[in-house]
Structure formats: structure tokens, C-alpha cells
Structure 1
Amino acid sequence: MDATQSRAYRSPRRQAQAEATRAAIVQAAGRLFAGRGYAGTTMQAIADEAGVAVESVYKAGSKAQLLRRAHDEAVAGDDRPIALHERDEVRAALAVDDQRDLIRTFSRAVADRARTLTPISRAFVQAAGTDPAVNASWEELESHRLTDLGRLVGSVAALGPLREGLTVERGATLLWTTLNHQAGWLVAHHLGWDDDQVADWMTETITCLLLPTT
């Protein structure tokens, strides 16, 4: 085998092991960021939580990169590289052909994020206050969230009228500023609501903000 062939060769088994290690590190980081916050989580603590050497953690990414990856996995629900709006459950919700049913189905599809995502989001906001790179990443995430909510409002508007005078852009802004990580923390962690209760709250909130009274 020549040098070119040797460099091109990759062991599927080693690659799978490396991916499993990276996944374990990101999951461990996510648990610690959610429980201890960003400042309270060290790379050594992540290594201990994941059961790997600290060198493996550094290879997986910087602390800020691990925070972003843990956040992205919490948003999506797993480590598959598929955006939230492209997930089967969200696509199915946005394809519902009745405004109120669409809102209800969407809310049930994403309600669990209030429980799993908001602790990491709190850590992200705390870190963003002291780290410009993390702050830039957070601003990017918030921009994506606004875009995703615009897709939701656009889908609702395609099925019937919104509240009088309400545009899709304004509706997206209302949802973006209301259904945020702080509100999710309050209902899922401070009040201790389960996923069904959070879904009902989301459904009521979105319906009140977007739809005409009947």
C-alpha cells in the first residue's frame, strides 16, 4: 500500500469509537453546564463526567464550542445534524391544515425543550455576558430562533387570518420575545410543570398572540 492509500484509509471502527467519545463528551458537558453553569464547569470536570482523559475533551472542542454543541443537541433532541424545523415532528406539525390544530401540534412537539434546553440556555446567557465569542454565538442562535418562529407564524397565517393588524413579522417578534428561555425556565423548573402542561401553556400563549378572538 502506498503512502497516499495509507493516509486515505480510515478504520470504520475507530471512527465510530471517536464519534461515540465525542458524543459522550458533549452530553457530559451539557449535563454540567445545565447543573453548574458555564463558569462552574471545567474541562477536567467534563472529562470526569464523560469518563475520558481531559486531552480527549480538548480534542472535542473548546469550552465555548462544547457549550454550543450541547445547546444544539438540546434544541434538536439528539446529535443528528438536522435543524429543528427539518425534524419530522416539526415538519408534521407545520403541515397540519387547521390553525388551532397546527399550534397545538407544534406546541406538543417542542414542549419538552423547556425542560431540557432552558438550563443550558441560562448557562449560555451567563457566559455571553463575559465572553465575546460566546455572546456572538448566542446572538446567532437567537437570530435562528426568530427565523424558526417566523416559519411557524407563516404556516399559521397561510391557513387563515391572524389578529387584526398583525403581520407575520410582528407575530414572530411577539413569540420570540415571549416564548424565550426565561419563560421556559419559569414554567418547567420554577413551577415544575410537566411537558403536557408546558404544551398547554404554549398553545394558549401562541393562540392568544396570533389568532382573532372567536
Structure 2
Amino acid sequence: MTEGKRVYRSSLRAEQARRTRAAVLDGATRCFLAKGYAATTMKDVATEAGVSVQTVFGQGSKASLLLACVDRAVVGDDEEVPFAQRELFVRLVAETDLAAKLAAVREMARVYVPLTVPMIRVFAEAATVDAEIAAAWTEYERRRFEDDRVLIGSFEPWFREGLDADRATEIFWGIFSHAPAVTLIWERRWTVEEYVDFVVDAVARLLLD
């Protein structure tokens, strides 16, 4: 076999593996969102993904599938690029004009809330019944707080008097999280735009002069 054929077949296998994993994660996401974590079985995922149960198990445990689905939801794709290195986040932190920074917060929330909150809700509920997921949830919240510290720290020149970066981060971390989004959007039927307006208004009123 020539080197060219080996490379081609290797690339083909890698692409097939990528497509299989994507199909399984797509199916798992639909199942978790529709039924919740506890009620979803690996057979459910296989049926939804159009693959065998053995293929689903080949992608990992149910807990690992959920965590992979969460990662995809948080960053919006399969690329291994942390949220804090994504363009919207980096641009927001680097912006030096206050009005433009608030507009960037609005855009980030508008993009990420509908993408992430439904799966984060499943994640939070699963953390109450699965020790592995509970540990992952603790780490997720730690990383989210650190990302928020970077984001909100970039607003420090405009903080209201007496407010420090730690307290400002805690306020934002509490407001811009899955819990109020679930309550206001999914339970009280606010639109995403109304929730986004609430977040931006809260940042301006509670944190800034």
C-alpha cells in the first residue's frame, strides 16, 4: 500500500469517527433535553442517533456523553477552544468604550443564552443524582466564576464607588446564570431579548457609575 493510500484511509476513518461521535452527541442532546438525564437510556440515545447501542457505549458512559453535550452547548461547536478565548468574549474584554462594552454584553447574552441554558439546566439537575456529574458541575461553576472575573474586571474603571472586583463578579455571576434565565424565560415566559435587557440593565445599575 502506498503512503498516499494510507493517509487517505486514515483521514477517511477519522472523518467517519467524527461523524459518528457528532451523531451520538446530537442524539444524546435531544434525549437529555426532552427527557432529562435520569430518564434517558443509552438505548434512547442509540435510537435517536440512528446507531447501535454498542456504538453509543463506544463514545463513553452516559455521564461522559452529558458532559460532552454540555461542552458543545457552552462553546457552540466541537472545537477545543475555551469560552474565555472565544471571539465575543475576547472582544468584550478588550473593548475600551463603555457603551460598546455593554453592547457586547448584550450580544454575548443574546447568542449564548438560548444555546446554553437548556443544556445547563439538565446539567444542574443531573448533578443532584450523579457524583461524577456533581464534581464536573463544581468545576464548571468554578471556571464560570473565573471567566466572569475576567469579564467584569474589564469594567473596573467604571465601577460605582466602593465596589470591588470580587463583589462585582459575584453580582454578575448570580445574575447571568442558568437559574434566573430558566425562571424568567422558561417559567415566566420572558423572551430572550427581555432577559438580555434585564442582564445589561442590571450590570449598568448595580455595578457602574
One-letter amino acid of the counterpart of residue 177, structure 1 = G
Q: Which residue of 2 aligns with 1:207?
A: 204
* Superposed counterparts of 1:163-178, under 5 Å: 163-178=160-175
Report the Cα distance in structure 1 between the residues aligned to 2:90 and 2:158, rounded to whole angstroms. Answer: 21
TM-score, with structure 2 as normaliser: 0.89
Sequence identity, in percent?
34
Q: Which residue of 2 aligns with 1:66?
A: 65
Aligned residues: 205
Whether the aligned pair in 1 keeps the contact of 2:70 and 2:119 (CA below 8 Å) is: yes
Q: Which residue of 1 aligns with 2:110?
A: 111
One-letter amino acid of the counterpart of residue 86, structure 1 = Q
One-letter amino acid of the counterpart of residue 41, structure 2 = T
Report the Cα distance in structure 1 between the residues aligned to 2:99 and 2:67, rounded to whole angstroms. Answer: 33
Q: Which residue of 2 aligns with 1:4?
A: none
Q: Higher relative contact order at CA 8 Å, sep ≥6: structure 1 or structure 2?
A: 1
Post-superposition Cα deviations, 1:122-147, rounded to whole Å, max 9, x if no partner, equal 22222211211110000000001101
Whether the aligned pair in 2 keeps the contact of 1:153 and 1:172 (CA below 8 Å) is: yes
Whether the aligned pair in 2 keeps the contact of 1:22 and 1:60 (CA below 8 Å) is: yes
Report the Cα distance in structure 2 between the residues aligned to 1:156 and 1:61, rounded to whole angstroms. Answer: 41
Report the Cα distance in structure 1 between the residues aligned to 2:114 and 2:55, rounded to whole angstroms. Answer: 29
Report the Cα distance in structure 1 between the residues aligned to 2:74 and 2:62, rounded to whole angstroms. Answer: 18
**Structure 1: segments with no counterpart, 5+ residues:** 2-6
Tell me, what secondary structure is at the counterpart of 1:60? coil
Tell me, what secondary structure is at the counterpart of 1:112? helix
Task: Report how far residue 91 of structure 1 moved.
Answer: 1.4
Report the Cα distance in structure 1 between the residues aligned to 2:99 and 2:36, rounded to whole angstroms. Answer: 37
Whether the aligned pair in 1 keeps the contact of 2:175 and 2:199 (CA below 8 Å) is: no
RMSD value, Cα = 2.0
Report the Cα distance in structure 2 between the residues aligned to 1:161 and 1:89, rounded to whole angstroms. Answer: 20
Task: Report how far residue 71 of structure 1 moved.
Answer: 0.8
One-letter amino acid of the counterpart of residue 164, structure 1 = E
Tell me, what secondary structure is at the counterpart of 1:164? coil
The answer as to 2:133 corresponding to 1:123 is no
Report the Cα distance in structure 1 between the residues aligned to 2:187 and 2:58, rounded to whole angstroms. Answer: 36
Report the Cα distance in structure 1 between the residues aligned to 2:184 and 2:136, rounded to whole angstroms. Answer: 25
Q: Which residue of 2 aligns with 1:197?
A: 194
Task: Report how far residue 162 of structure 1 moved.
Answer: 0.6
Report the Cα distance in structure 2 between the residues aligned to 1:31 and 1:208, rounded to whole angstroms. Answer: 38
* Superposed counterparts of 1:9-28, under 5 Å: 11-28=10-27
Post-superposition Cα deviations, 1:169-196, rounded to whole Å, max 9, x if no partner, equal 1111111122221111123322444443
Task: Report how far residue 8 of structure 1 moved.
Answer: 10
Q: Which residue of 1 aligns with 2:28?
A: 29
Tell me, what secondary structure is at the counterpart of 1:166? coil
Post-superposition Cα deviations, 1:68-90, rounded to whole Å, max 9, x if no partner, equal 11111111111111111111122
One-letter amino acid of the counterpart of residue 124, structure 2 = V
Q: Which residue of 1 aligns with 2:96?
A: 97
Report the Cα distance in structure 2 between the residues aligned to 1:92 and 1:69, rounded to whole angstroms. Answer: 26
Tell me, what secondary structure is at the counterpart of 1:41? coil
Q: Which residue of 1 aligns with 2:50?
A: 51
Whether the aligned pair in 2 keeps the contact of 1:94 and 1:155 (CA below 8 Å) is: yes
The answer as to 2:173 corresponding to 1:181 is no
Whether the aligned pair in 1 keeps the contact of 2:152 and 2:169 (CA below 8 Å) is: yes
